């Protein structure tokens, strides 16, 4: 699937957002290597800190469906600006989706920027640090 189509899926996923507090809707579409798409959207809570981002709802849904091989995630919002993933999402995407994952960031003009997740979170903490004796 091309990244334009994946970005369209992220835009659609924005419609599932539950964001009554920030009114900032975010959608994500996570593509597996065999072509499946898992969608996510941000889900907020009156206890604000319990909010979950769009990228992580997509990654968690895919993970519990048994997916392990991913190629890209697209992220869309209502902003005219490019909206990059937050730090927590970068950390989770790195671990669940792999350092070579393409992260497609979009803006209100349907333009895209593509980054490798490993470049968005350099010198990261991961399981390599935990498994040393
Ligand atoms: N948000 C995401 O869904 N993804 C990000 O990477 C950044 C922020 C959401 C969380 C919250 O519901 C709203 O955007 C405003 O921060």
pTM for the full predicted model = 0.97
Q: Is the CB of 44 under 6 A from ligand 1?
A: yes
Q: Tens digit of pLDDT for each residue in 58-112?
A: 999 999 999 999 999 999 999 999 999 999 999 999 999 999 999 999 999 999 9
CATH number of 3-126: 3.40.140.10
Q: How many CA atoms lie within 13 A of 95 on its CB side?
A: 14
pLDDT of residue 133: 63
pLDDT band at 131; cut points 50, 70, 90? confident
- The residue extents of the domains of the chain are 3-126
Give the three-state DSSP class for 113: strand
Predicted confidence band of residue 123 (pLDDT cuts 50, 70, 90) = very high
Query: In the 8-state DSSP scheme, what is residue 31?
Result: E
The CA distance from 83 to 6, in Å, is 16
Angle at 13 between CA 10 and CA 15, to 5 degrees: 130
Hey, which bits of the chain come out as E strands? Answer: 26-32, 37-41, 70-77, 102-106, 112-116
| Cβ–ligand 1 contact at 71 (below 6 Å) | no
Cα of 26 vs centre of ligand 1, distance in Å, is: 6
């Amino acid at each position: 699937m091309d990244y334009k189509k994946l970005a369209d899926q992220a835009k659609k996923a924005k419609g599932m957002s539950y964001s009554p507090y920030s009114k900032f809707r975010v959608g994500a579409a996570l593509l597996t290597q065999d072509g499946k798409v898992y969608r996510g959207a941000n889900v907020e809570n009156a206890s604000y800190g319990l909010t979950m981002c769009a990228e992580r709802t997509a990654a968690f849904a895919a993970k519990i469906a048994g997916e392990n091989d991913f190629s890209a995630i697209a992220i869309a919002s209502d902003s005219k600006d490019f909206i990059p993933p937050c730090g927590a999402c970068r950390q989770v995407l790195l671990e669940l989706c792999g350092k070579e994952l393409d992260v497609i960031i979009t803006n209100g003009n349907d333009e895209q920027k593509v980054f490798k997740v490993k470049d968005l979170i350099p010198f990261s903490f991961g399981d390599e640090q935990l498994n040393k004796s």
